Structure 1
Amino acid sequence: MFAPNWGSRLVQNWVHDWVSVRQLPQSNRGRHSKINSVLSDPTAREAIQTYLRSHKWAINPPKLEKLMKGEMLPVEAAEYCREIEHDEMPRGLKSFIEEKLLPRLHIPPETLLHGSKLVLVAHDEMVAQAHDGLRYTWVLNGEQPLRKKGVGRGLHQSDFICSTVGWLEEASGMWNGELFAKQLEEKFFPAFAAAHGPGHTAVILVDNSQGHASYASDALRASAMNLKPGGKQPRMHPGWYIRDGIKVVQSMVFPLDHHTHPNQPKGMKAILQERENMPKALRSVPVDLIRKWEHRSWRFIDAYSENLDATDALYKVKAFSSRKYKSHRRNPEQLAQAMDEI
């Protein structure tokens, strides 16, 4: 199953090596530059060298001390040295790699201790523009065409590249952590297993992106909560707050014996009322600030009563709420003092 030309030259090279040195060349399969072992890491290599230079591999320290002091018979000392070289040192080094080194590198011990090899996989993302805007349109005489300033629909592409696997995953809309995990489970891992076979572990290098951030389904996230109970909001795990120096555990779901919302998420309003933070928060707002926002609301009501659109209404409200300074390169003393306080 060799190629016609390259296969014949390969066989000739093998015959030449066998006639010359009576050895066949070793296969380079599995020695790709992107396939690393734990010894490829300089930190791991230094840790193993430091360990071997110490006496931590000795399982029987008293017996080792007796050997160092020359208190053993020659036959007994030779037998113990053979035991150290073929038993204690490999066993101690294996224990060091399993219990100390691999957890520090965040690598499961069972992957490397059974002949598994690490395959470096690079991941990257990009957004390509479709440029699918309209090229032709109908325009009335004397008017200018108004086209969108964008470059068309965006396509988010997620790409994995290793020695034998590479593809693009396209998605419309925003790429998030759920889509990234789905791509790993449904497409990447099966393709990686088919390409490399057993005994290989993928080490995926992922760029730092907020789109890869993901939360648990019951994570405490205020942005995912509704104001009222029930509805489309997650069932979060219990939270807690401090009251009078004591930690109080708070359930985020109404109990089953609740008269209106049994076993439903409470919502933001119920959570704040239970914590008694709402009255405290309202008392912390100055009265003059409340009055200012009340006046601003009435100015918006007056502007909309004059049938103004949103932009004109905003300009009219700013005419009352914004203060203009006409002096050149000079700020009033009152404004400077306010900025110093900030």
Structure 2
Amino acid sequence: MNLSPRGAQPKMRNGWYINENGKKLVHLMVFPDNHKLKGKLKGIKHVLTEQKGIRLMCEQYFGKQDDIDSERLDCCARRIMSLQPDFCEQRSILEEAIIKAGHIFERYPKFHCECNFIERYWGFAKRKTRRLCNYNYNDLLLQVPEVLISVPVTTIHKFACKSWRYMDAYNKGLEGRTAEWAVSKYKSHRRLPDNIEKIMDDLD
């Protein structure tokens, strides 16, 4: 969303805001039919003017994301807009598609692919694809879907169990190599012992 109505901007659905009387009002994100810019996205400046938002820009937003003061709520237009309740409640396109299909949308911790068993499924499929690969692109297009379907459900279940053991280890306070050791040590169990931290202390 640009600061002004200029430039190429994707169309947005209507938002909402709470006015000074505490009433929830629908907010049009595009100009109405009786406006000279009908159908165009309003832009941050126009939207915040309608919502009584004040400042338009600050130096922080021209710098690195890490330099932004996360505790400031009113530094500029971009910050104010990002904190509006209708923007905060907006789901991503991926989340909306998954929920619409009747599935559960769940985020995994960043940089912890061991918690997501689909990574092991993809790794298994890639390894099998490499073994069967004849380095012909057209054959590969046919081969990949077949390989993905061929992974046994029992194998996928094992991948899921291993991921749950990692989550269990992290929940019990283990980290890094100690978590990896515990997951391997208790792979025949459904979960790690409740006293795993004491066991690790005794080993030290």
- Per the normalisation by structure 1, the TM-score is 0.16
**More contact order relative to length (CA 8 Å, sep ≥ 6):** 2
More strand by share: 1
- Per the normalisation by structure 2, the TM-score is 0.26
